[in-house]
Structure 1
Amino acid sequence: MRLLTRLDSRDERVRHKLVESLYQQPTSLAMGAASGMAISAIAAQVTRSPIITGAAVVLWVVAIARVIMSFWVARWHMRQDARTLELLYEIGAFSFAFMSGLVGALTVLKQSGASIQLLTVSFALAYGVGIAARNAGRPLIAIGQLLLCILPMIITCLIVGSLTLLIFAMTLMFLIIAMASITLNVFNVLKEQITAAETSAKMADKMRDLARTDVVTGLANRAGLNHDLVEKLMNLPKDEKLALYWLDLDKFKEVNDTLGHPVGDRVLAEVAQRLKGQAPLEATVARFGGDEFIIACRIEDREQCEKLAGDILEDICRPFRIDGERIESGASVGVAVLPDDGADIDTLMQSADLALYHAKVNGRNQVCFFAASMTRELVRKKEIEAELRAALARDELSIFFQPIVDLETGRIRTFEALVRWFHPEKGELRPDEFIPVAEETGVIITLGNWITAQAARACAQWPEDVTVAVNLSPLQIRASGAALGILQALREANLSPSRLELEVTESLFLDDNQNTARFIKELSEQGVRFALDDFGTGYSSLGYINKFPFKKIKVDRSFVSGPNIGVKSDAIIRAVAEMGSTLEMDIVAEGLETIDQVRAVREAGCTLGQGYYFSRAVPDYLAAMLLAQERNEDDSDGFAQRLTG
């Protein structure tokens, strides 16, 4: 009993889970009730005994009431407290178990026919044993039902007193002991499993909270901010607005540089506390990264939004006192309001970020609200232009190489040089973010020459049958002395001109000027190869294919893995491949991601392939490793088998 009492004092949530197991699958309870009702009715009909009939009637009433109650609770009231659910179940369970055992005992006591005794006693035993396993989640109930089913028959056997029934009574006692032990073992297993599940759930919640929390300030981090913003947007009343305050501390870098990062972290923590003190209770306060913070909260009108912004700035501008040091650090604040300044979270954050930028460029230590006149695109371009020039000076750019593979042998024929920019604060910036800006501002000339020089140096370390491909911008080609700059890069790298491939797009030939023709002619005479990139996406013309010495045509990825691939795109690839074969040019299929795509373009006549199926763009040392591995392992047979397999 001490064991049962100790087990019964477990955590309420675990207890509720175990009690819920009693109500699971109420259909099985209904089947048991129906069997008991049928057997008791047969016993009453055959014996014609008033007492057995009375017991059968009571069993019927209990069974029907119990089934109704089980379905009712399982469907609508499962969230009641555990004790109430348990009490409701106990009343029906104990009553039905006792009546089942009583009917069996009465048939033995009245010395009814052997078949009736066998039928009722067997049902009582089967029900008691079965329910002990089914209700093991609450061992007191399970063992109680077992006792109520079997004890009436034990007492009857002792009253009758025949040797056979006495032995039967002893057997039933052993059965009770055995089933009680089994029930407790099952209960322990269930409890351990539920407890483990509860522990895992709590740990998962804790890990989720940690993943959404900034370790320095205790505020939400970016992940936590994104989650809260979505929740706030979904629950935003129609008559209210969502304000986003984006803060950037002024002169915080000086604090880190002069006083150290530990002091800087304490300043960030103090800023977090001040922001939490100013923000409304339901607001989300987050550290976005570095010395940037974001507050998101509901507002009723513009006046409330402006007042909160002023209070925030005033509080942040108060001096900090850290280890006796007086630290003064203002802040720039950008504010945007949903839906006025953006219909969704992304647009709202872009608007607030742009407002913050204007607050900083206008003198810092001020609040700036987003306005439609702010042209983020222009500001971004100027920012990228300045940072790109600085990145070239600080050597922040890197060259990655993506292999172009021979579709017949599987061997690497060329590496395409691709520029990557890993910004020390913003992380990796995509080429489509800074290349267009570089072209519009003229930085592409300096950038292009640098890429060519880096690619030539890397290629000089590779086997002589491997070439390198470099994309050229039309602006770079038209620049004065462009050809001489490329030849100079080849001489400095000690690389044969025949191992350099310059990729140009069809847009280059829209303005068919003499500079373009002179550039291509001068370099091709020195042995530099030219490839036509993104063929089929621009103003395609066979005239310039015939006019200029192209050695390679690259079929754009949209014909290989785009959303509109099909019979037409396949026909275009075949036509281009046939033309390339006739003109003795290599045809490169871009964007290959699957073996099926590789097989398709190879069957269409393409000679070379490029895409993630073979490799992503990798640094120069990994490119060298790929080549070394390829030279050590002749995998041409394996590649052919994959294509034909």
Structure 2
Amino acid sequence: MLRGALVFALLILFGGSMFWLAQSGLNDTVDTVIEQNAERKARNWAMHLATTMPDLEGLIEGGTPTQEQRDAIDTAVQVGDVFRFKLFDGNANLVLISDELGAPLEPGAMADHNGHAQMVIDKGSAVIDLNDGRAKANRPDLYVEAYVPVEAAGGSVLGVVEVYVDQTMVASLFRRNFLQLATTLGALVLLTFGVPFIAYIAKMRQQVKTGEKVRILSSVDQITGLHNRATFFQKVEDYRKSGRLDLRKTAVMFVDVDKFKTINDTFGHKVGDAFLRHAGNAISGQLSRGDLAARFGGDEFVILAANRSPEQLEQMIENLREAVSEPVWVDGMAVTGHLSLGVHIDADHELDLHDRMNKADVALYQAKLMGRNTCVTFTPDLEDKVARRRHVEESVVLGLATDRFEVHFQPLIDPTSDQVAGFEALLRLKDADGSSISPSEFIPIAEENGEIMRIGAWVLEQSMRAASNWPEHLFVSVNLSTRQFEDGKLVAQITQLLKQTGLAPTRLELEVTESLLIEQAGNVSGQLDALRDLGVQLSMDDFGTGYSSLGYLWKYNFNKLKIDRSFVMSLGDSDERTQHILDTIIMLGHKLNMQVTAEGIETKEQATYLRSLSCDHFQGFYYGKPMPESELAPYLMDNTVLPLLEGQMQDKSLESARRLKYGS
């Protein structure tokens, strides 16, 4: 009896020891598995980044993302379990942090990280760091920082990306499974002579359950519960093979949450995820048998709506938009948002899914351009229109780097002497083939994507440097965009340029439009006052259009008025009201101690009439077209401007006019 008890005690002790050993090795084993899993995810994600990021090599070299690259970054950090990343160049220098795009990088601030990146570059192997995030703000409970190389299409290493991978769910799953396995092993030792077969069956069942969980997790989007990208394409293939899906009878829809980045930045990722779930639920609620939907990453969804009439499709879209526009409540706070949709449907059997999705994406792009919260159906002409828009966008983004932007100068004339009083600086953009892109086409795009901030600063510098070399009685007039006032740095920028160029403040004239005063009233007033205090001249451009509020003239104390060209061009009409309006505007400006400029003068008759009204400055093709800086010196060789001869205005330069007049 005693012997049996001793054997039993030894058996328990042995089994307990085995269980303790299994437990003690559990954490190390799980950590290793988590790190290996994270490395695989990071490498796959880095490949995804390399294939989806526009001009990745340029981003690594410059470190300042374009708007298109910012959108790609926002999408990238929504892919898989990645929530953040840092980008290093080929010398292991940090160039970008995904969630700190607006913050400057201090030299040496990331010394440890640079060292890890250098190891990856030198050895080609990943560096993995497992972290406990429970005590850190904006971090998951368990995450991995994985340093992996970023490779170009040819296999060359462009740099290193430090990928932050949320491994909380994976760790929980592995630890639970390993703990069950350790418990099973301990029980097997204790029950060596008991029920090995039952233990084996239990183990197999657990493996089946674990495999099923992993399969489900890998097939759906974790936030919305919709299919992920990979599963979506697999389902499409399965449906087509089984005859459940006919693309010729299926509407392909690209869906985008409007201003989702603003929701994330304003309310945080918790609210952003809640809104994505809200959108996913709304999409799921509109699906019928045979339909498919997926979240492709970020705020982008794809829907295949099969076998619907145009009326049914329209109703589905309307229901979806209404459902998403309902407020989402998170922690007692209501958040609202909207969708933009692009739709393509075509019975052409030659179009594959990829073609149809591209066309739906084109329609979505147009929906965003139209102000968002709308739906656009693809038409053939839309493809050319969007392609042109994207081409101009690319030209704007690359314009400064490729020297395609130029500043041209159009003369402003003193009509009392026919002498040049100054020049207006006008921005020009050349296409890659040397042709010109119209300012009316590229300037609105530059304002929308924010590039006007850099471009506007460049125009100011070029114009002021050029003017500093002119005779001292000449001034330069530069147009300002609404966007240039947004960051509050305009006054400091102009102050610095005045010091650098030596240009007298009174020789700088800044033109603003009435729309600026309407849209940015609170942000502009103080800056205009500060510019006036510097001695800079202020001019209201395009007066006579819009509201033409007299209150703005009084409130902002402009030095000059610029009459919109539409009034000057109407002078030849029989309607005398144009003459009365011009007379009134010029008289009003003089009563307020402002000089008045008339632009768009193209004929002698227009100039003669405006001279009779005592207009202060003339501008237009009659006196000279905009010209590059290199042509200004020859133009200024004569003290008196020779207006372009009538009949030669459209196709003769000023020099040509001189030759015609003097017969030389």
Same fold (TM over 0.5): no
User: Which protein has the larger Cα radius of gyration, Structure 1 or Structure 2?
Assistant: 1
**1 or 2, which has the higher strand percentage?**
2
| TM-score normalised to structure 1 length | 0.40
